Amino acid sequence: DAKTTQPTSMDCAEGRAANLPCNHSTISGNEYVYWYRQIHSQGPQYIIHGLKNNETNEMASLIITEDRKSSTLILPHATLRDTAVYYCIVRVEDNDMRFGAGTRLTVKP
Amino acid sequence: EAGVVQSPRYKIIEKKQPVAFWCNPISGHNTLYWYLQNLGQGPELLIRYENEEAVDDSQLPKDRFSAERLKGVDSTLKIQPAELGDSAVYLCASSRNYNSPLHFGNGTRLTVT
């Protein structure tokens, strides 16, 4: 699976949009982009995934660039409860989900 | 639906002692995973089950770690004997099938003294 690069940490003001970037410049055509998050003392939680098209669900939006070399997870109105470590994972079908160190997002009042 | 249930939530043992962790996956989920998470790092896969069959245990240290998933439902992960370096959070996850999103339990935090 392709390697991903994420910033170590980010801050966001409460009520504003949180935009979390992820670089995956070696992604191949059949690799999906997954996002999970992990709130302190809990297990990771699935957020969203996509292949080529942008995706949106009740939690977030996933924007994948046309060349698929990077993506952005958008939390439209961040709350204090969105403070967590966010993992971007690139995975081809029938391969295991492998986590990196992620981005620690802190939402501030 | 009920989530993935793990027990115990915390465990403190002395080195060289045995320890076991239990996981009850979401009903109907055929795929079960055990991950290990060290402080400040992302989870690392230890073993994956498809129903009752361990299909990927390449990352499991087999000299001291063992796992089972009887009847393709609940699973246990055992360490015998435990070492100081085994102190970590042990996470269980399940998914409907291999290509479905993973659902994690809240883990067992193991401290080996």
The percentage of chain A sitting over the pLDDT mark of 70, rounded to a whole number, equals: 98
* Confidence (pLDDT) at B44: 94
- Band of pLDDT at residue B16, cut at 50, 70 and 90: very high
Q: Is the pLDDT of residue A57 over 90?
A: yes
* Confidence (pLDDT) at B72: 83
- Band of pLDDT at residue B97, cut at 50, 70 and 90: confident
8 A C-beta contact, residue A17 and residue A10: no
- Band of pLDDT at residue B85, cut at 50, 70 and 90: very high
8 A C-beta contact, residue A22 and residue A33: yes
Residue bearing the bigger pLDDT, A101 or B1: A101
Q: Which residue of B has its CA nearest to A102?
A: B42
Q: Is the pLDDT of residue B105 over 70?
A: yes
Burial class (CB in 10 A: 0-12, 13-18, 19+), B33: buried
N-term to C-term CA, chain A: 37
Interface residue B32 vs chain A (CB under 8 A): no
Q: Is the pLDDT of residue A29 over 70?
A: yes
What distance in Å separates the CA atoms of residue A84 and residue A76, rounded to the nearest whole number?
A: 15
Q: Is the pLDDT of residue B49 over 80?
A: yes
* Confidence (pLDDT) at A1: 63
Alpha-carbon dihedral B78, B84, B85, B88, rounded to 10 degrees: 60
User: In whole numbers, what is the pLDDT of chain A averaged over residues?
Assistant: 94
Q: Is the pLDDT of residue A94 over 80?
A: no
How far is B46 from chain A, CA to nearest CA, in Å? 11
The first and second tokens of residue A42, run together, are 């809990």
Interface residue B91 vs chain A (CB under 8 A): yes
8 A C-beta contact, residue A70 and residue A27: no
The first and second tokens of residue B25, run together, are 């996956």
Query: Are B45 and A101 within 8 A, CB to CB?
Result: no
Mean pLDDT score, B29-50: 94
Mean pLDDT score, B99-105: 92
